[in-house]
Amino acid sequence: MTKLAIIYYSATGHGTAMARRAAGAGEAAGAEVRVRHIAETRDPATFADNPAWSANYAATKDAPAATGQDIVWADAVIFGSPTRFGSTAGPFQTFMDSLGGLWAQGKLADRVYAGFTSSQTAHGGQEATLLGLYVSLMHWGGIVVAPGYTDPLKFADGNPYGVGHITGPQNQNELADETVAALEHLATRVVGVADRLSR
Protein backbone atom coordinates (compact mmCIF):
# COMPACT_ATOMS: atom_id res chain seq x y z
CA MET A 1 0.00 0.00 0.00
CA THR A 2 1.37 3.38 -1.00
CA LYS A 3 1.91 5.78 1.89
CA LEU A 4 0.79 9.33 1.11
CA ALA A 5 1.62 12.29 3.34
CA ILE A 6 -0.27 15.52 2.88
CA ILE A 7 1.71 18.30 4.53
CA TYR A 8 0.29 21.79 4.43
CA TYR A 9 0.19 25.20 6.05
CA SER A 10 -3.13 27.03 6.25
CA ALA A 11 -3.97 30.36 7.82
CA THR A 12 -7.66 30.93 7.17
CA GLY A 13 -8.70 27.31 6.57
CA HIS A 14 -8.76 26.97 2.79
CA GLY A 15 -5.60 24.87 2.83
CA THR A 16 -7.09 22.68 5.55
CA ALA A 17 -10.15 22.06 3.37
CA MET A 18 -7.95 21.34 0.35
CA ALA A 19 -5.83 18.89 2.34
CA ARG A 20 -8.91 17.01 3.51
CA ARG A 21 -10.24 16.68 -0.03
CA ALA A 22 -6.89 15.40 -1.27
CA ALA A 23 -6.72 12.96 1.65
CA GLY A 24 -10.12 11.52 0.85
CA ALA A 25 -9.13 10.98 -2.76
CA GLY A 26 -5.83 9.40 -1.73
CA GLU A 27 -7.64 6.94 0.51
CA ALA A 28 -10.13 6.16 -2.26
CA ALA A 29 -7.17 5.41 -4.54
CA GLY A 30 -5.95 2.83 -2.03
CA ALA A 31 -3.24 4.75 -0.15
CA GLU A 32 -2.54 4.93 3.55
CA VAL A 33 -2.83 8.66 4.16
CA ARG A 34 -1.26 10.84 6.83
CA VAL A 35 -2.41 14.48 7.01
CA ARG A 36 -0.15 16.89 8.89
CA HIS A 37 -0.47 20.64 9.26
CA ILE A 38 2.57 22.88 9.58
CA ALA A 39 2.44 24.57 12.95
CA GLU A 40 1.60 28.25 13.13
CA THR A 41 4.63 30.40 13.89
CA ARG A 42 2.80 33.63 14.69
CA ASP A 43 1.41 34.59 18.08
CA PRO A 44 -2.39 34.05 17.90
CA ALA A 45 -2.83 37.51 19.40
CA THR A 46 -1.52 38.99 16.14
CA PHE A 47 -4.43 37.56 14.15
CA ALA A 48 -7.13 37.68 16.83
CA ASP A 49 -9.12 40.17 14.72
CA ASN A 50 -9.26 37.70 11.80
CA PRO A 51 -12.11 35.26 12.60
CA ALA A 52 -11.22 32.74 9.87
CA TRP A 53 -7.56 32.60 10.90
CA SER A 54 -8.43 32.26 14.57
CA ALA A 55 -10.99 29.53 13.83
CA ASN A 56 -8.57 27.50 11.71
CA TYR A 57 -5.87 27.87 14.34
CA ALA A 58 -8.23 26.64 17.08
CA ALA A 59 -9.41 23.72 14.92
CA THR A 60 -5.92 22.46 14.05
CA LYS A 61 -3.53 23.49 16.84
CA ASP A 62 -3.91 20.24 18.77
CA ALA A 63 -3.64 17.98 15.71
CA PRO A 64 -0.27 16.36 14.97
CA ALA A 65 2.09 18.86 13.38
CA ALA A 66 4.29 17.97 10.43
CA THR A 67 7.87 16.84 10.94
CA GLY A 68 10.51 15.65 8.53
CA GLN A 69 9.76 12.09 9.59
CA ASP A 70 6.39 12.35 7.86
CA ILE A 71 8.28 12.70 4.57
CA VAL A 72 10.64 9.85 5.45
CA TRP A 73 7.58 7.66 6.17
CA ALA A 74 5.90 8.47 2.87
CA ASP A 75 6.22 7.14 -0.67
CA ALA A 76 4.48 10.27 -1.94
CA VAL A 77 3.93 13.76 -0.54
CA ILE A 78 1.46 16.46 -1.52
CA PHE A 79 2.47 19.84 -0.13
CA GLY A 80 0.14 22.79 0.31
CA SER A 81 0.79 26.44 1.08
CA PRO A 82 -1.03 29.70 0.48
CA THR A 83 0.68 32.10 -1.89
CA ARG A 84 2.52 35.00 -0.29
CA PHE A 85 3.87 37.46 -2.86
CA GLY A 86 4.38 34.63 -5.34
CA SER A 87 6.09 32.30 -2.87
CA THR A 88 5.13 29.88 -0.14
CA ALA A 89 4.06 31.29 3.23
CA GLY A 90 6.64 31.94 5.94
CA PRO A 91 5.68 29.03 8.23
CA PHE A 92 5.78 26.66 5.27
CA GLN A 93 9.23 27.86 4.26
CA THR A 94 10.45 27.60 7.84
CA PHE A 95 9.40 23.94 7.78
CA MET A 96 11.19 23.39 4.48
CA ASP A 97 14.33 25.08 5.80
CA SER A 98 14.35 22.68 8.75
CA LEU A 99 14.86 19.66 6.50
CA GLY A 100 18.54 20.17 5.65
CA GLY A 101 19.69 17.26 7.79
CA LEU A 102 17.36 14.79 6.11
CA TRP A 103 18.29 16.19 2.71
CA ALA A 104 22.01 15.71 3.48
CA GLN A 105 21.29 12.06 4.32
CA GLY A 106 19.41 11.54 1.04
CA LYS A 107 16.18 10.79 2.88
CA LEU A 108 14.01 13.20 0.86
CA ALA A 109 14.93 11.78 -2.56
CA ASP A 110 13.07 9.33 -4.78
CA ARG A 111 9.57 10.19 -3.59
CA VAL A 112 6.67 11.41 -5.65
CA TYR A 113 5.78 15.05 -4.92
CA ALA A 114 3.07 17.49 -5.97
CA GLY A 115 1.51 20.66 -4.56
CA PHE A 116 -1.51 22.90 -4.12
CA THR A 117 -1.88 26.56 -3.21
CA SER A 118 -4.36 29.40 -2.81
CA SER A 119 -4.46 33.15 -3.22
CA GLN A 120 -7.01 35.90 -2.80
CA THR A 121 -7.15 36.74 -6.50
CA ALA A 122 -6.86 35.03 -9.86
CA HIS A 123 -3.28 35.21 -11.15
CA GLY A 124 -2.24 36.06 -7.58
CA GLY A 125 1.08 34.22 -7.80
CA GLN A 126 -0.20 30.65 -7.68
CA GLU A 127 1.91 29.35 -10.57
CA ALA A 128 5.05 31.04 -9.22
CA THR A 129 4.42 29.48 -5.81
CA LEU A 130 4.11 25.98 -7.22
CA LEU A 131 7.09 26.35 -9.53
CA GLY A 132 9.21 27.66 -6.64
CA LEU A 133 8.13 24.72 -4.49
CA TYR A 134 9.08 22.30 -7.24
CA VAL A 135 12.55 23.81 -7.53
CA SER A 136 13.14 22.82 -3.89
CA LEU A 137 11.84 19.32 -4.56
CA MET A 138 14.17 18.94 -7.51
CA HIS A 139 17.07 19.88 -5.23
CA TRP A 140 16.01 16.97 -3.05
CA GLY A 141 15.99 14.50 -5.94
CA GLY A 142 12.24 14.23 -5.76
CA ILE A 143 9.97 13.05 -8.57
CA VAL A 144 7.58 15.89 -9.38
CA VAL A 145 4.23 14.61 -10.61
CA ALA A 146 2.30 17.64 -11.75
CA PRO A 147 -1.24 17.03 -13.04
CA GLY A 148 -0.61 18.60 -16.43
CA TYR A 149 -3.65 18.28 -18.66
CA THR A 150 -3.96 14.54 -18.06
CA ASP A 151 -7.74 14.74 -17.66
CA PRO A 152 -10.29 17.01 -19.36
CA LEU A 153 -11.25 18.44 -15.95
CA LYS A 154 -7.90 20.21 -15.88
CA PHE A 155 -9.15 22.51 -18.63
CA ALA A 156 -11.80 23.68 -16.14
CA ASP A 157 -9.42 24.57 -13.31
CA GLY A 158 -6.68 25.59 -15.76
CA ASN A 159 -3.66 24.78 -13.61
CA PRO A 160 -1.24 22.19 -15.04
CA TYR A 161 1.27 22.71 -12.22
CA GLY A 162 -0.87 21.60 -9.28
CA VAL A 163 -4.14 22.89 -7.85
CA GLY A 164 -4.98 26.48 -6.98
CA HIS A 165 -7.93 27.97 -5.12
CA ILE A 166 -9.02 31.62 -5.28
CA THR A 167 -10.14 32.59 -1.79
CA GLY A 168 -11.59 36.01 -2.63
CA PRO A 169 -10.65 39.37 -1.08
CA GLN A 170 -12.34 38.53 2.23
CA ASN A 171 -11.35 34.84 2.14
CA GLN A 172 -15.00 34.08 1.60
CA ASN A 173 -14.90 31.61 -1.31
CA GLU A 174 -15.53 27.96 -0.55
CA LEU A 175 -13.84 25.37 -2.74
CA ALA A 176 -15.40 25.36 -6.20
CA ASP A 177 -16.49 22.09 -7.79
CA GLU A 178 -13.68 22.46 -10.34
CA THR A 179 -11.13 22.84 -7.55
CA VAL A 180 -12.42 19.79 -5.68
CA ALA A 181 -12.27 17.73 -8.88
CA ALA A 182 -8.73 18.93 -9.54
CA LEU A 183 -7.63 18.03 -6.00
CA GLU A 184 -9.12 14.58 -6.33
CA HIS A 185 -7.43 14.08 -9.69
CA LEU A 186 -4.09 15.28 -8.30
CA ALA A 187 -4.17 12.90 -5.33
CA THR A 188 -5.31 9.97 -7.49
CA ARG A 189 -2.56 10.64 -10.02
CA VAL A 190 0.12 10.97 -7.33
CA VAL A 191 -0.92 7.69 -5.71
CA GLY A 192 -1.12 5.93 -9.09
CA VAL A 193 2.37 7.01 -10.11
CA ALA A 194 3.78 6.07 -6.69
CA ASP A 195 2.11 2.66 -6.98
CA ARG A 196 3.71 2.04 -10.36
CA LEU A 197 7.13 3.13 -9.14
CA SER A 198 6.94 0.83 -6.13
CA ARG A 199 6.11 -2.11 -8.39
Containing 21, the helix (H) or strand (E) segment is helix 14-28
Residue 169 binned pLDDT confidence (cut-offs 50, 70, 90): confident
Q: Reply yes or no on whether the pLDDT at 65 is more than 90.
A: yes
Per-residue pLDDT at 60: 96
- Secondary-structure class of domain 3-198 per CATH: alpha beta
Q: What is the pTM of this model?
A: 0.97
Cα dist from 112 to 88, 141, 143, 172, 174, whole Å:
19, 10, 5, 32, 28
What is the Cβ-side half-sphere exposure of residue 37, based on CA atoms within 13 angstroms? 24
Residues 137-162: pLDDT tens digits? Answer: 999 999 999 999 999 999 999 999 99
Residues 96-105: pLDDT tens digits? Answer: 999 999 999 9
Q: Reply yes or no on whether the pLDDT at 170 is more than 90.
A: no
Per-residue pLDDT at 164: 97
Q: Reply yes or no on whether the pLDDT at 199 is more than 90.
A: no
Residue 171 binned pLDDT confidence (cut-offs 50, 70, 90): confident
* Rounded Cα distance, 141 and 143, in Å: 7
Residues 50-61: pLDDT tens digits? Answer: 999 999 999 999
Q: Reply yes or no on whether the pLDDT at 173 is more than 90.
A: yes
Q: Is 20 exposed, middle or buried (0-12, 13-18, 19+ CB in 10 A)?
A: middle
Mean pLDDT of the chain: 97
